[in-house]
A and B are shown apart, each in its own frame.
Chain A
């Protein structure tokens, strides 16, 4: 049930371009809401589309989105991307430390013994049927960012 972080890291760092290229056009579409605050314990967002948070998501807070979830801050609560069954949905955060991370019908949690101190943006998505965490990379030729 625990997701792996270390492996996918080295995958990405050693074999650049080996992973599926992330089509950034897919990340953003019309149906997106912007949450301009920090979500605290007990607060929840449910949305039938993408969710972008300008703030943190604290432990005890919940985001459930039919599409992708992007947190411009620390993600420490429970997050569910692709809640309607979209296996392509991703979760992206500046600090990805969720209590529990769900994509589509996959439910994962961080390994019990590991307290990673993510100091760079990371992205979670389903690859080969498992949720993997990787360093968020905008691509070598195009560093324009997500919302171009």
Chain B
């Protein structure tokens, strides 16, 4: 029996979809059977980030309304054997699916997959209600901005009200230099407010933009810091103890040593 994770944030643009794609890809490359579910009906993106947009024939609404069988709507990833995507519908809206239907769907998926990862839409309305309905665990993504942290706090409250206790926190797009200068909220500041377990910190990284546009999740890139951060998160999900990555940027000498191969 698999586990259902929902990736949520409240605020938009903090990296839910990127995180979903990277966690799913990472778990699949560790040999797990994973299905990613795009619950953002009407504003789907996960298919684009995974580079699978042109393979979509049926979507989640076709499944819940009985237009097709679940198996027909699942898209196999082009790189990883164990990775599948259940895409959202683009021409419908959030009301096309009900929380009950999502619960049934998650139960079905859990039977076949080790991990079901749901990409939640921004907001706290029906899309959010649908996305969390069938989830066993929640991962909350935030960025070091007051507004994002405020929304994350609201989301954690709503998750608790829906009996989803102990959500894990991912702090995304942190810039160590700005934190040192006191211009950005630090990890400690955020934990202080939200009081939940931290499962990972992703540094701001240009590679995210590059890999997202290419449709190849950054977790597969062995050289980037953000890819490393996502790999650490995946190992923690799989139950390993991994120390938090140092947020210090590589200094000149460390970079030089890397270049000449003395790592």
Contact = CB atoms under 8 A, between A and B. Distances in A.
Contact of B90 (A42, A107, A109, A110): A42
Nearest to A107: B57
A112 interface: yes
Interface string A25-66: 000000000000000011110000000000000011010000
B57 A109 contact: no
A109 B78 CA distance: 14
A8 interface: no
A99 B54 contact: yes
Given A100-B54, A100-B56, A112 B91 contact: no
Interface string B27-45: 0000000000000001110
B55 interface: yes
A100 B87 CA distance: 15
B62 interface: no
Given A41-B90, A44-B91, A99 B53 contact: yes
A44 B43 CA distance: 14
Contact of A109 (B42, B43, B44, B54): B54
Interface of A: 41-44, 59-60, 62, 78, 99-100, 107, 109-110, 112
5 contacts: A41-B90, A42-B42, A62-B90, A100-B54, A110-B54
A44 B59 CA distance: 15
Q: Is the interface of A mostly helix, strand, loop or mixed?
A: loop
Nearest to B89: A42
Interface residues of B, number: 11
Q: Is the interface of B mostly helix, strand, loop or mixed?
A: loop
Interface of B: 42-44, 53-57, 78, 90-91
**Which 9 A-B pairs rank lowest in CB-CB distance, beginning with the nearest?**
A109-B54, A44-B91, A99-B54, A60-B90, A100-B54, A42-B90, A42-B91, A99-B53, A62-B91
A42 B91 CA distance: 4
A62 B54 CA distance: 12
Nearest to A77: B90
A59 B43 CA distance: 12
B204 to A, nearest CB: 27
Interface centre among B43, B53, B54, B78, by most A CB within 10 Å? Answer: B54
Given A42-B90, A43-B91, A112 B55 contact: no
Contacts of A112: 78
